[in-house]
A and B are shown apart, each in its own frame.
Chain A
Amino acid sequence: MNIAVCLKQTPDTETRVQIAGDGVSVLEDDVQWIINPYDEAAVEAALRLTEAHGGEVTVFSLGPPRVEKALREALAMGAHRAVRLHADAVPADPRVTARALTAALRDGGFDLILAGQQAVDDDQAQTPQRIAQALDFACVTNVEELTVEGGRGAARRVLEGVQEVSSFPLPAVLGVNLRLNEPRYPSFKGIMQAKRKPIDVIEAELAEPKLVVERLAYPPEKAAGRVFEGVEAVPEVVRLLHEEAKVI
């Protein structure tokens, strides 16, 4: 079973985001780059499936040379091959990203295409659905349990108040969430082997974006918390919780 995993390199979730001078992008100087945690779960799921059923895992990422670090990390986890779709910058329009990925994936003969259901940086959550649409494959999102048996897959998703299990024929595209697994920590052996694995670089087929970021701004600063003391403050606290915070 050959599996493709689409992964995005995102800033570490602890990064203090700083808006660049152009007002529409983020300063990359002090950013600690990581594999988008949702995509990391997708890599882990792919590795577990190939460990059980055989086959290879190929990881794809779209972006400038810096994203090779993320690909290298996936190789260290155990992925077999890596492909970087070269673009000078990571597109802001998910449609552009999905189209470029689809072009690279279309003739790969993959039984399964996995991706995180969203990226922690832009939270667009569109890539798996768009790829599935373009390839006319079944698509399940928000997957938190996955089994594959005899050419069919089954995915469990947790919805509001109910769990849903659906099955689908392969090939399929899945968007996974963080509850799917605990991604492995690469062994030193894996890190060393990853250094010897090649990363293929191909030019990304980039469409004209339809979505344009107009402006980035910091969210309004949170007001400092207020401290009340003594029992006599209770009515006032209740009133504020009801009228201002509107939580009771």
Chain B
Amino acid sequence: MLSIAEKVLFAIAVMGSASLAYRGFSNVVKVIRRGTGEPLKVDLDRFFRALGQWIIMKPIWKTRTLADVFHVMIAWGFVFYFLVNLGDVLQGYFPVQFLGAGAVGVAYRFLADVFSVSVLVGMVWFLLRRFALGSRRQLVIRENVKVMEAARAGGITRDSVIVGVFILAHVGFRFLGETFTLAQERLHTGHGDPGQPFAHAVSGLWEGLDESALVVGQHVSWWLALGLILAFVPYFPYSKHFHLIMSGVNFLVKPDRPSLGALDPVDFEDEALEQIGVARIEDLPRKHLIDAYACIMCNRCQDACPAYVTGKELSPAALEVNKRYYLNLNLAALAAGEASAETMLDFALSESALWACTTCGACVDICPVGNEPMFDLLHLRRHQVLMESAFPQELQPAFRGMERNGNPWNRSAADRMAWAEGRSVPTIDENPDAELLWWVGCAPSYDPRAQRTAQALAKVMNAAGVRFAVLGGRESCTGDSARRAGNEYLFYERAQANIETLNEVAPKRIVTTCPHCLHTLGKEYAAMGGAYEVIHHTQLLAELAAAGKLDLPGGEASGAVTFHDPCYLGRHNGVVDEPREVLDALRLPVVEMPRHGTKSFCCGAGGAQMWKEEEPGAAAVNATRFDEAAATGAQTLAVGCPFCLTMMDDASKAAGEGMAVKDVVEIVAERLGDRA
């Protein structure tokens, strides 16, 4: 127990620390509340779900297993230390043993002992990782990426060292304090507390010290352990250690999106609408301001980012780091309601970085704290296109095409059915009782290579007796490319028109050739009044195969196939098994690329990249992905998306590897031969 003087002193220190910390914490709250969008919704159900996520840390385990193990050793220990600190303060002020001498107390002290050591070990590993181990390179952001001076000049390292040393010292001194306490016990009872095995072992060091020395050691340790907390708390909201709380807050307020990348619609009917998208940091939705505080700067997102990996100026990690440093440096002014002096393009990322994103969603998927950097980019693009009309010139013909002719190729709407000439492809007017409405899509309608996918699907559906129909001339672009390029207004117009058509047709079920149509129709139109059941053609094929409706002759054993998961099929829509089930039904040996399923690596065409030149970098995204496919030794690269088809086909031709690139349905149609 503390002396009266110590008790008074500690109480004063607590008040001092709290008043210093209050300003920082309240400023963070004020800044986040400046963000746009719906007020953050929280209910009990969400609370318990978030608490579960926060404690289990499930998203962490997707990659870097060793770091994850050490992280959990620290994180669980640190969480347990909330209890430990409370107990230590109570024991300092009152002559009690926290949680008593019974089973609960015994268990508590055992866990405190074990967690102390686990935190210390874990923290030492993380400091080694930052400065000595090979994996420290994961913490570097490449020079061509915009990073704010304060962060680039050692800010992150300094912050990390402060946090690391604080944790080591706080937990270390608390542990030492226990060893002094146990040594005192031994003086009185002749034995220590073997229920705290680590502290018990270390307490042996103090053999021979008299009681007064042990008491001094105990008090000094108590003061250092808890005093460090008081010293650290005012710094906490500026430190990346804040992720400890803000990751939980992020889990708590993250919207329940229909898919990982589904965007919220803008209400263009709203007369008061003036600001669209994001120019300055305070324009960001609240959730994306919280992202900056939740980020621990682990750079997992940049490792997964196809733009970063191929040497572009984009790093989603740098974006979050810059947001955080900008908020830290301007916290008081922003909290006071001032407009930020710079736009996000001034400090957070370059224009080339903004237009390098393929919207593959890998950054959102991999983030252990629920951040969504891709959304920031899309909000920034919206502002650039709709408010500034500043975007890569090559996108203009695609915009014009979607606007005027209903397809980004800007080909005549009258030619939409040209691919189907001479084939049995009924329109909905010809076959109003169709069970399945086939949304063919622009690429399969107009692109000569992708037309073969549409022709193959028509052949397979006819052979399987599927009663389908197409919209024919009434079909028009879903607007996905416009939306991902930031042209939300064009997307809105497309969506309105298509929803009107579809609601009139009222299809029982829709099948799409393209995963981008799948995503837009299935996950994004619902928010605008168009809810439909939508499946991808590989899902239909898997269904037909399982129902025995695909009469596939054996054929000769052909070579191995590797399947490239399109981002908007696997990661955005969770369709991973069905394409493989189809290949299995064909009895084709499937070899997997290292990055597959929801961890697939983009082909480089998403996010409207299809319509523009790739941003400058070290390598082309499609070539990088193709090399990975070629390295499997498979003879055929199977895809499920017309954009992937183009990108992989181009890469295959450029590499001269002779690897065939085919849509899954083309492989099925080939097996059917001439029988259909």
Q: How far is the CB of B426 from chain A (nearest CB, A)?
A: 22
Contacts of A185 in B (CB 8 A): 385, 389, 391, 396, 399-400
Complex-state Cα separation, A187 to B386, whole angstroms = 5
Binary contact readout A132-170 vs B (1 if CB under 8 angstroms, 0 otherwise): 000000000000000000000000000000000000000
Binary contact readout A14-32 vs B (1 if CB under 8 angstroms, 0 otherwise): 1110000000000000101
Instruction: Determine whether the beta carbon of B386 is less than 8 Å from that of A188.
Output: yes
Complex-state Cα separation, A32 to B413, whole angstroms = 10
Instruction: Determine whether the beta carbon of A189 is less than 8 Å from that of B387.
Output: yes
Whether B3 sits at the interface, judged by CB under 8 Å, is no
Residues of B within 8 A of A (CB): 276, 385-389, 391, 393, 396, 399-400, 404-405, 410-415, 489
Known A-B contacts A185-B396, A185-B399, A191-B489; A12 and B389 likewise in contact (beta carbons under 8 Å): no
Complex-state Cα separation, A182 to B393, whole angstroms = 9
Whether A190 sits at the interface, judged by CB under 8 Å, is yes
Complex-state Cα separation, A185 to B414, whole angstroms = 25
Instruction: Determine whether the beta carbon of A14 is less than 8 Å from that of B389.
Output: no
**Which listed residue (B385, B391, B396, B411) contacts A14, Cβ 8 A?**
B411
Instruction: Determine whether the beta carbon of A188 is less than 8 Å from that of B404.
Output: no
Instruction: Determine whether the beta carbon of B389 is less than 8 Å from that of A187.
Output: yes
The 6 closest A-B pairs by CB, nearest first: A188-B386, A187-B389, A14-B412, A16-B414, A32-B404, A188-B489
Complex-state Cα separation, A182 to B396, whole angstroms = 10
Instruction: Determine whether the beta carbon of B388 is less than 8 Å from that of A187.
Output: yes
Contacts of A30 in B (CB 8 A): 413-414
Instruction: Determine whether the beta carbon of B386 is less than 8 Å from that of A14.
Output: no
Name the residue of chain A whose CB is nearest to the CB of B384. A187
Instruction: Determine whether the beta carbon of A188 is less than 8 Å from that of B276.
Output: yes
Q: How far is the CB of A139 from chain B (nearest CB, A)?
A: 30
Whether A206 sits at the interface, judged by CB under 8 Å, is no
Whether A184 sits at the interface, judged by CB under 8 Å, is yes
Contacts of B389 in A (CB 8 A): 184-187, 190
Binary contact readout A166-195 vs B (1 if CB under 8 angstroms, 0 otherwise): 000000000000000010111111110000
Contacts of B388 in A (CB 8 A): 187
Instruction: Determine whether the beta carbon of B489 is less than 8 Å from that of A14.
Output: no
Extra contacts, 7 of them, besides A32-B405, A188-B489, A190-B389 (Cβ < 8 A), are: A15-B412, A182-B396, A185-B391, A187-B385, A188-B276, A188-B387, A189-B386
Whether A90 sits at the interface, judged by CB under 8 Å, is no
Contacts of B412 in A (CB 8 A): 14-16
Complex-state Cα separation, A190 to B385, whole angstroms = 11
Contacts of B396 in A (CB 8 A): 182, 185
Contacts of B411 in A (CB 8 A): 14
Name the residue of chain A whose CB is nearest to the CB of B276. A188
Contacts of A184 in B (CB 8 A): 389
Complex-state Cα separation, A32 to B387, whole angstroms = 26
Complex-state Cα separation, A184 to B390, whole angstroms = 9
Whether A34 sits at the interface, judged by CB under 8 Å, is yes
Contacts of B393 in A (CB 8 A): 182
* Residues of chain A from 1 to 53 with CB closer than 8 A to chain B in the complex: 12, 14-16, 30, 32, 34
Instruction: Determine whether the beta carbon of A14 is less than 8 Å from that of B387.
Output: no
Task: Show 6 A/B contacts (Cβ-Cβ < 8 Å), sorted by A.
Answer: A14-B404, A185-B396, A186-B389, A187-B386, A188-B386, A189-B387
Contacts of B489 in A (CB 8 A): 188, 191
**Which listed residue (A12, A186, A189, A191) contacts B404, Cβ 8 A?**
A12
Q: How far is the CB of B496 from chain A (nearest CB, A)?
A: 15
Contacts of A15 in B (CB 8 A): 412
Instruction: Determine whether the beta carbon of A34 is less than 8 Å from that of B387.
Output: no
Complex-state Cα separation, A187 to B413, whole angstroms = 25
Complex-state Cα separation, A185 to B400, whole angstroms = 9
Contacts of B405 in A (CB 8 A): 12, 14, 32
Known A-B contacts A14-B410, A185-B396, A188-B489; A34 and B386 likewise in contact (beta carbons under 8 Å): no
Q: How far is the CB of A221 from chain B (nearest CB, A)?
A: 15
Q: How far is the CB of A40 from chain B (nearest CB, A)?
A: 11
Name the residue of chain A whose CB is nearest to the CB of B406. A32
Q: How far is the CB of A77 from chain B (nearest CB, A)?
A: 9
Complex-state Cα separation, A30 to B151, whole angstroms = 57
* Residues of chain A from 178 to 219 with CB closer than 8 A to chain B in the complex: 182, 184-191
Contacts of A187 in B (CB 8 A): 385-389
Complex-state Cα separation, A32 to B405, whole angstroms = 8
Complex-state Cα separation, A115 to B287, whole angstroms = 50
Q: How far is the CB of B273 from chain A (nearest CB, A)?
A: 8
Complex-state Cα separation, A228 to B393, whole angstroms = 40
Q: How far is the CB of B140 from chain A (nearest CB, A)?
A: 38
Complex-state Cα separation, A190 to B386, whole angstroms = 9
Instruction: Determine whether the beta carbon of B276 is less than 8 Å from that of A34.
Output: no
Complex-state Cα separation, A30 to B412, whole angstroms = 11
Complex-state Cα separation, A189 to B389, whole angstroms = 9
Name the residue of chain A whose CB is nearest to the CB of B410. A14
Name the residue of chain A whose CB is nearest to the CB of B393. A182
Q: How far is the CB of A114 from chain B (nearest CB, A)?
A: 21
Complex-state Cα separation, A32 to B403, whole angstroms = 10
Complex-state Cα separation, A176 to B405, whole angstroms = 26
Complex-state Cα separation, A32 to B489, whole angstroms = 19
Complex-state Cα separation, A14 to B415, whole angstroms = 10
Contacts of A12 in B (CB 8 A): 404-405
Contacts of B391 in A (CB 8 A): 185
Contacts of B414 in A (CB 8 A): 16, 30
* Residues of chain A from 97 to 143 with CB closer than 8 A to chain B in the complex: none
Complex-state Cα separation, A153 to B613, whole angstroms = 36
Complex-state Cα separation, A183 to B388, whole angstroms = 15
Name the residue of chain B whose CB is nearest to the CB of A12. B404
Contacts of A190 in B (CB 8 A): 389
Complex-state Cα separation, A185 to B387, whole angstroms = 11
Complex-state Cα separation, A188 to B277, whole angstroms = 11
Q: How far is the CB of A51 from chain B (nearest CB, A)?
A: 13
Contacts of B399 in A (CB 8 A): 185
